[in-house]
Structure 1
Amino acid sequence: MDEQTSIHRRKLLEFFSASPLLAPSAARALAGIAAFGTTEAVAQSYDVLRAAPVMNGDLIASPAQALNVFDFEPVAKKELPPAHYGYLASGVDADKTLKANRDDFDKIHVRARRLIDVRKIDTTVKIFGETWASPIALAPVSSVGAFHPEAEAAAARACKVKGHQMILSTVGSTSIEDVIKERGAPVWYMLYPTDDWAVTEKLVKRAEAAGAPAIVLTVDRQGGRNTETLFRERRSDTRTCTDCHTPGFKNEVSRKPMFDDIDVSKVTNLYGTGMTWDYVKRLRGIVKGKLVLKGIMTQEDAKIALTHGVDALIVSNHGGRAEESLQSTIGALPEVVGAVNGKIPVLIDGGFRRGTDVLKALALGATAVCVGRPYVWGLAAFGQPGVEMVLTLMQREFETIMRQVGATKLSEITSKSVRIV
């Protein structure tokens, strides 16, 4: 077929594909046929394959229809009561730090390499002697039962199916014993210490007895916070919130199974207000396994953590809801990595939505990343299958960008894989 004939055929097919009488799926198919014999052929054939299944309306009706993790959020918003969605969506003050967590990924460009055989890649990473299938883990999220009745149990089963690690929150809706049972393997335990040392000890002992290899102390919630988005969304919630939420710490944790059979009568706050480095030293004295600090954002604190025998750090601003600092976690990562100088693993959370985000963090020295809101969107929208698809999409995107930078294993993702602009 000569070039002129090809041009005429393509124009004819493009005319038909633009017709309002033609079904959208047929139009997409014709667009692919029109591209045969042109440089657009491969790209168009991929687009046709990604088109199914057909959607009715703007919201996905099944996990299989999702093109990326963002597709789950509007479905979650539709499914959840306004106050519950507000809690999930809220940052602090004007949500500028929450936004910075996302925006600052755009300041890091990926350097693509060519002519490297990347047909086989390995995404495993070893942390504390355990091999993870992927550097993508689930971050701790509080009160997951507010988003789906199966709560962390469904998330744990998704992690088992897809091969990911997860961290359970102290105020999760599922006990650590049940989460480990559903995942079929140990999970990390995130500790809110409270201001009663006796309670702290019991929480740590229970988590370690269940098999948790790491205790993750959250240190970024001592100053209080102003969650305006939550307060705004709550205004439109017609339910009586006091039916579930009543004043007092005992009532606050009455539906949190990790506090079962623990005397909380002396507790006045969950976050251990007044904690200092002496507290970390004291905690190090009772934690038999690994001790991780979550919420470190500066090189100064990272260096002090090393002197206190901490085994790993998680760079975190609580998903943009700890303080309105405008400091993103991806922006803080390099100085924390530089401070520890390879002595301990550095993980990170905050704003991770794409596989490219994961690669950028690893290129800047992170050992692994933790994902919070996206998995809860998937859970709220579709339960366990939603969480599975969120993990599938992020892992698929991560593997794709690994190939584009010419990395066949995580150790080949280096500072040369990105450029900060």
Structure 2
Amino acid sequence: MSRKTETRHGGAVDDGVQLSRRKFLEFASASPLLAPQIASTIAGLSVLGTSEALAQSYDVLRAAPVMNGDLIANPSQALNVFDFEPVAKNALPPAHYGYLASGVDADKTLQANRDGFDKIAIRTRRLIDVRKIDTSVKIFGETWGSPIALAPVSSVGAFNSEAEAAAARACKAKGHQMILSTVGSTSIEDCIKERGAPIWYMLYPTDDWAVTQLLVARAEMAGAPAIVLTVDRQGGRNTETLFRDRRGDTRTCTDCHTPGFANEVSRKPMFDNIDVSKVTNLYGTGMTWDYVKRLRSIVKGKLVLKGIVTHEDAKTALDYGVDAIIVSNHGGRAEESLQSTIGVLPEIVTAVNGKIPVLIDGGFRRGTDVLKALALGATAVCIGRPYIWGLAAFGQPGVEMVLTLMQREFETIMRQVGATKLAEINGASVTRV
């Protein structure tokens, strides 16, 4: 009877098998017919004593950098975008982090955005040549290298002194589009300069039409191809997480924040040289569809509505000449509806019936999230918090790594569903759980 040898995984193999394996490996290592990579992979089998190694040996060193403590020390140590959040929290004042982290009320809609992805499963396909894939998408005649874009975020200077300029440089380096907020910390001219290409402009219209006109004119003169009107901030909001975190901030907030609209936007460059004396609110809380019609009459380029979450409003948007829709609940910070954006996406897509692009934001953290949205009919996806985590943690390199990780994950899942281009990602790529 042959003797048994225990493996590191607790199993046992015959000594004869071990000898045969060793002889085969010696032959393989010496053979000029086997590429060094193949020999290395096969050698991994003897190390682990299991066929698992065949799939894993290529990435065994991926997490090699040593970490001190639980926080990553540089962007290269991140395994996913979630690794940046605790670093950002550690770097930011409590109130600034609270502003970034807050949803509304009990933050249940914020959580619903994430939970919505768990209700969608991905259908993988086999034996398709996916060595070469194309992730580009054309929107309004412009080709984006990736369907992942940066969503507008307000007051980005609160998270990093280089603000949107650093994000724009990251977009240039990694090949992504971005949308600048009206109350961003960087001017649209500087963002376009740093990105080296036009960006979209998200409009908070205020309740003074003269101010609205000046904001639109400046953005279009700078080269913005699309004006994105945000329509989901008209009802007000109760940002409890922000209020709670602010209690622990020992700074004197009035050193930077003083009452009155003029003071509120005094550090927002898009309002430079604009008379805001008649403005009482940023969001244009009296907006109706007639306002969209009026805006449509002055926007020379494309007009996009951000914040549409029902098929009724999507159909009406078509009637008013809107060129695209962004399905959004402001990252779960517009209202406590408990509706995830990925959950309502199909009804929006059905309503527009391919007539205009449908973009989406809200809770996107993984490449698999992106694929699920595209499979349900989205044209592109916007991310907000993840890139701000990266920016707050490490500046431009952090944003670049966030984009790298999400793009890498997206390309991986594209290959696993057998898609070589975005048009091959469709309803057959997913199923409801």
Q: When the two structures are superposed, what TM-score results if normalisation uses the length of structure 1?
A: 0.93
Change (3 A) 1:32 1:13: farther
Please name the residue that 2:270 is paired with. Answer: 258
Residue 330 (str. 1) matches residue 342 (str. 2) = yes
- Aligned-residue offset at 1:207: 0.1
For residues 138 and 203 of structure 1, the distance between their equivalents in structure 2, rounded to whole angstroms, comes to: 21
Does residue 344 in structure 1 map to residue 356 in structure 2? yes
Q: Answer whether contact 1:86 1:231 (CA < 8 A) is retained.
A: yes
Specify the alignment match of 1:370 in structure 2: 382
Contact 2:9 2:49 in 1 (8 A): no
Aligned residue for 2:109? 97
2:89 is equivalent to residue 85 of structure 1 = no
Task: Tell me: CA distance 1:12–1:114, structure 2 relative to 1, closer, same or farther (3 Å).
Answer: closer
Q: CA deviation at 1:36?
A: 4.4
1:106 is aligned, of 109, 118, 121, to 118
Q: How many residues align?
A: 402
Corresponding residue of 2:206: 194
Task: Answer yes or no: is the 8 Å Cα contact 1:319–1:349 preserved in 2.
Answer: yes
| Equivalent residue, structure 1, for 2:370 | 358
| Residue number in structure 1 paired with 2:231 | 219
The 1:4/1:234 distance shift into structure 2, 3 A limit, reads: farther
Q: CA deviation at 1:52?
A: 1.7
Q: 1:11 to 1:195 in 2, by over 3 A?
A: closer
Q: Which of structure 1's runs of 4+ aligned residues deviate more than 4 A?
A: 11-14, 31-37
Residue matched to 1:28: none
Partner of 1:386: 398
> Is the Cα–Cα contact under 8 Å of residues 112 and 405 in structure 1 kept in the other structure?
yes
User: What is the alpha-carbon distance in structure 2 between the residues aligned to residue 58 and residue 284 of structure 1?
Assistant: 50
SS of residue paired to 1:385: helix
For the residues of structure 1 that align with 2:130 and 2:223, how far apart are their CA atoms?
37
Residue 132 of structure 1 corresponds to 144
Query: How far off its partner does 1:51 sit?
Result: 1.9
Pair 412,267 (structure 1): closer, same or farther in 2 beyond 3 Å:
same
Aligned equivalents of 2:388, 2:63: Cα separation in 1: 25
| Cα distance in 1 between the residues matched to 2:68 and 2:247 | 31
Q: Is the 8 A contact 1:13 1:34 kept in 2?
A: no
C-alpha offsets along residues 303-358 of structure 1, whole Å, 9 cap, x if unaligned? 00000000000000000000000000000100000000000000000000000000
Which amino acid in the other structure matches residue 105 of structure 1? Answer: F
Q: CA deviation at 1:39?
A: 1.4
Tell me how far apart the structure 2 counterparts of residues 298 and 322 of structure 1 sit (CA, whole Å). Answer: 15
Does the C-alpha gap of structure 1 residues 210 and 229 become closer, same or farther in structure 2, counting only changes over 3 Å?
same
> What is the CA-CA distance between 1:114 and the residue it aligns to?
0.5
- Check the 8 A contact 2:45/2:54 in 1, yes or no: no
- 1:183-241 C-alpha deviation (Å, 9 max, x unpaired): 00000000000000000000000000000000000000000000000000000000000
Q: Secondary structure at the match of 2:149?
A: strand
Q: Distance in 1 between matches of 2:55 and 2:157?
A: 42
- Over 3 Å counting, the alpha-carbon distance change for 1:141 and 1:4 in structure 2 is farther
How far apart, CA to CA, are the structure 2 residues paired with 1:166 and 1:209? 17
Map 1:4-403 to 2 at 5 A.
Answer: 8-10=6-8, 35-36=47-48, 38-403=50-415
CA distance in structure 2 between the partners assigned to 1:34 and 1:96 by the alignment: 49
Mapped to 2, the partners of 1:325 and 1:307 lie a distance apart of 26
SS in 2 for 1:360: helix
**Aligned residues: percent identity?**
86
Q: Structure 1 residues 223 and 4, CA, compared in 2 at 3 Å: closer, same or farther? A: farther
Secondary structure class of the residue paired with 2:6: helix
> Given the superposition, is the C-alpha separation of residues 285 and 381 from structure 1 closer, same or farther in structure 2, using an over 3 Å criterion?
same
How far apart, CA to CA, are the structure 1 residues paired with 2:326 and 2:47?
Answer: 48
Partner Cα separation in structure 2 for residue 232 and residue 365 of structure 1: 38
Q: Deviations over 1:147-168 (max 9, x none)?
A: 0000000000000000000000
TM-score (norm 2): 0.91
Q: Is the 8 A contact 1:169 1:190 kept in 2?
A: yes
**Ranges in structure 2 where 5+ consecutive residues have no aligned partner:** 13-42
Offset at 1:46? 3.9
Distance 2:47 2:106 in 1: 47
- Cα distance in 2 for partners of 1:394, 1:242 equals 38
User: Relative to 1, partners in 2 of residues 1:81 and 1:32: Cα closer, same or farther, differing over 3 Å?
Assistant: farther
RMSD over aligned Cα atoms: 1.7
TM-superposition CA deviations, 1:116-170 (whole Å, max 9, x none): 0001000000000000000000000000000000000000000000000000000
Q: Which runs of 5+ in 1 are unaligned?
A: 15-30
Secondary structure of 1:285's aligned partner: helix
Distance 1:47 1:284, change over 3 A: same
Q: Is the 8 A contact 1:35 1:44 kept in 2?
A: no
| Aligned residue in 1 for 2:432 | 420
Secondary structure of 1:50's aligned partner: coil
Using the TM superposition, give the Cα deviation of residue 11 of structure 1 relative to its aligned residue in structure 2, in angstroms. Answer: 5.4
Distance in 1, Cα, partners of 2:137 & 2:347? 22
Q: CA offsets, 1:52-78, max 9 Å, x none?
A: 211111000000000000000000000
Paired residue for 2:18? none
Structure-1 separation of matches of 2:223 and 2:265: 23
Q: Aligned partner of 2:162: which letter?
A: E
- Secondary structure of the residue that 1:351 maps to in structure 2? coil
CA displacement at 1:10 relative to structure 2: 3.5
Q: Which residue of 1 aligns with 2:31?
A: none
Shift of the alpha carbon at 1:50?
1.2
Please tell me the residue identity of whatever aligns with 2:374.
Answer: L
Tell me the SS of whatever aligns to 2:60.
helix
Match of 1:109, SS?
strand
Instruction: Indicate how the Cα distance of structure 1 residues 58 and 277 shifts in structure 2: closer, same or farther if over 3 A, else same.
Output: same
